[in-house]
Amino acid sequence: MQSNGASQGQESSELPCLNSAQNGESSSSAGGNHSNGLLSNADNGNGVGTSNGSSVGPCSGTSATSTASGSEVGSLKKKKRLSQTEEDVIRLIGQHLHGLGLNQTVDLLMQESGCRLEHPSASKFRNHVMEGEWDKAENDLNELRALMHSPNAIVRMKFLLLQQKYLEYLEDGKVLEALQVLRGELTPLKYNTDRIHVLSGYLMCSHADDLRAKAEWEGKGTASRSRLLDKLQTYLPPSVMLPPRRLHTLLRQAVELQRDRCLYHNTKLDNNLDSVSLLLDHVCSRKQFPCYTQQILTEHCNEVWFCKFSNDGTKLATGSKDTTVIIWQVDPESHQLKLLRTLEGHAYGVSYLAWSPDDTYLIACGPDDCSELWLWNVQTGELRTKMSQSHEDSLTSVAWNPDGKRFVTGGQRGQFYQCDLDGNLLDSWEGVRVQCLWCLSDGKTVLASDTHQRIRGYNFEDLTDRNIVQEDHPIMSFTVSKNGRLALLNVATQGVHLWDLQDRVLVRKYQGVTQGFYTIHSCFGGHNEDFIASGSEDHKVYIWHRRGELPIAELTGHTRTVNCVSWNPAIPGLMASASDDGTVRIWGPAPFLDSQEADGLNENSSNMDS
């Protein structure tokens, strides 16, 4: 089509208000306009002249142009019939162009291609709905009935029409007419009686604003009728009328699929098509991923057993065999870490740390032979509570209740306690040899892995327990996703396993990691927790995409077992790992990215530096 004003052999009428969804099949009618203003292809052999002398043959699949005189038009060979896919594409383009208001272009496209945007009956129906001619729209439904797959759909569509009619009468103050619609038309349908009761309540609205607010309705006019039309179109087959904004929907789905398949996509999802280029495939560079050592923290003087970012991502806590906990401050701009304060006096070393929900407190636990735990005020650096129930205890794990006022702790010698912030014992569960703990968001259920290679759920309110996960080997540690649905287990001699806690099924076994009988802590991470990271006895950090069993990155740099990995919950490109080599490594994107790489448009790099 030419943008310089192509004239048609006959006057084309502009499409009537095809608001965002159109449909149809190839037309076989000869010459002239459809009743809905859509041009059908002439079957009498006459081409459609354009101002530059081009001509279009009958039933042509693509525009056939000729620079010769008009006498040569008849010599043009008949073009092949369009395939179904080609017709669909033309209709999708036509629908999109019409949404942009390019109606003359749509007319010419339909005329040249011989396609029809939507069925004539659908066009009439659309016009009558948009113009508020409800009686005519109801009659149109009878014409559409034969074209529909579900006979019940007519009742639903009629109900939607009458509901709009009823609301518009009410808004206009025509209460008697609205009441007649309610009693004489909507009620006899015997459909969705609950909704009819709600609609009847709108009769009591004192003014139009009150009606619109209670009905959550835009009011009489183009907006509400367009929304109504979108609902009505869901009942019509696409051969009659295209679903609303169909091309936009397909493009958005394509973008989402490319993102889902992108191994390194680690930024916030934006469903707005304006935020991406449709001219290039979506590719995130590995250089944008936290695969590169940004910083090595060497302040600990012995093995580092645990690390954990605070819930707001502004701090990192690290626990070591050297009896100290170090709190690090994360710079919000450079993402560099600075030593904030050191918490000392943990005689047995620190093997586990847990931040309170509001990050005010930090609890530190020791190894198997430690009967104490320490509850620190992180903001002041003061020790609030040092708890020990018995010298025979082994308090090696802890988890906060979501209310931030209680925590549970336990160990392999059979202790399982619930305590307040002062260390006072609130409840206890006898005989549970706890390996690792987690409190679910319901505030009642505590998950505990034990020495029977299982995870059980314990309810401290009604004192019930149930089996959730059963493994064949010892569960050394586990963590739970933010939504409480998935659990990530480090299983002795097996590696990292992903379980669905709701369905109680093993979802995936991740390959590559070396896991013996050391306690190694893995984590979820990245935007939407799409990634999984774990330490390993082979001195590496492994990263997987949650949906794939093979690692997408193996990070080298540590020289001994990597005991724990923590992904920053607020900065998706920042990760920390703690190792027996006495260091904590901070991982981030490559230090230098050019503008193209920063936009994620370059190809993935196949190698990675530590």
pLDDT averaged per 10 residues, the chain (length 610): 40 36 38 38 36 35 40 46 91 92 92 88 91 92 84 89 94 93 93 92 91 92 92 88 89 86 74 78 83 96 97 97 97 95 94 96 92 93 88 87 94 86 89 89 91 92 90 95 95 95 95 90 92 96 94 96 96 96 95 51 37
In terms of C-beta distances under 8 Å and separation of at least 24 residues, what long-range contacts does 70-73 make, across chains too? 73/47
Which token pair is 277? Answer: 């280029």
> In the Cβ-directed half-sphere of 107, how many Cα atoms lie within 13 Å?
24
Is the distance from CB of 518 to CB of 495 less than 8 angstroms?
Answer: no
Q: What angle is formed at CA 77 by the lines to CA 75 and CA 80, rounded to 5 degrees?
A: 160
Q: Shortest CA distance to 69 belongs to which of 53, 92, 82, 84?
A: 53
8 Å CB contact between 352 and 346: no
298: CB partners within 8 A, 6+ apart: 582, 583
What residues does 338 pair with on adjacent strands?
329
pLDDT for position 270: 65
Site of tokens 């009498």: 44
pTM: predicted TM-score of the whole model, two decimal places = 0.69
CB 368 within 8 A of CB 411: yes
Alpha-carbon distance of 17 to 564, in angstroms, equals: 61
- According to DSSP, residue 394 is labeled -
Q: Of 261, 296, 309, 264, which is closest to residue 608 (Cα–Cα)? A: 264
Q: List beta partners, residue 477.
A: 490
How far apart, in whole angstroms, are the C-alpha atoms of residue 585 and residue 597?
A: 24
Q: Name every residue whose Cβ is closer than 8 Å to that of residue 534 and which is 6 or more positions away in sequence.
A: 490, 495, 496, 510, 513, 520, 521, 522, 523, 541, 542, 565
Q: CB pairs under 8 A, 24+ apart, for 207-211?
A: 208/171, 211/167, 211/170, 211/171
pLDDT score for 592: 67
Helix (H) or strand (E) holding 385: strand 382-387
pLDDT in tens, 167-178: 999 999 999 999
**Residue type for position 361:** Y
Contact by Cβ (8 Å): 90, 39: no
| pLDDT for 469 | 95
Q: Residue 109: how many CA atoms within 13 Å on its side-chain side?
A: 22
pLDDT of residue 49: 37
Q: Are 409 and 365 in contact (CB under 8 A)?
A: yes
As given in the structure block, the two tokens for residue 255 are: 């973008």
Amino acid residing at 515: Q
Lookup: tokens for 592: 């230098």
Cα torsion 375, 376, 377, 379: sign: negative
Tokens of 434: 């706890």
Helices H / strands E in the chain, number of each:
11, 28
Q: Could you tell me the strand order of the sheet in which 531-534 lies? A: 523-525, 531-534, 541-545, 553-555
Torsion of CA 453, 459, 464, 467, to 10 degrees: -30
pLDDT at site 23: 40
**594 burial via Cβ count (<10 Å: 0-12, 13-18, 19+):** exposed
Q: Give residue 118's pLDDT.
A: 86
Alpha-carbon distance 449 to 456, whole Å? Answer: 7
199 sits in which H/E element: helix 193-201
Please give the structure tokens belonging to residue 130. 């948009």
DSSP 568-585: -SS-TT-EEEEETTS-EE
Q: What is the pLDDT of residue 356?
A: 97
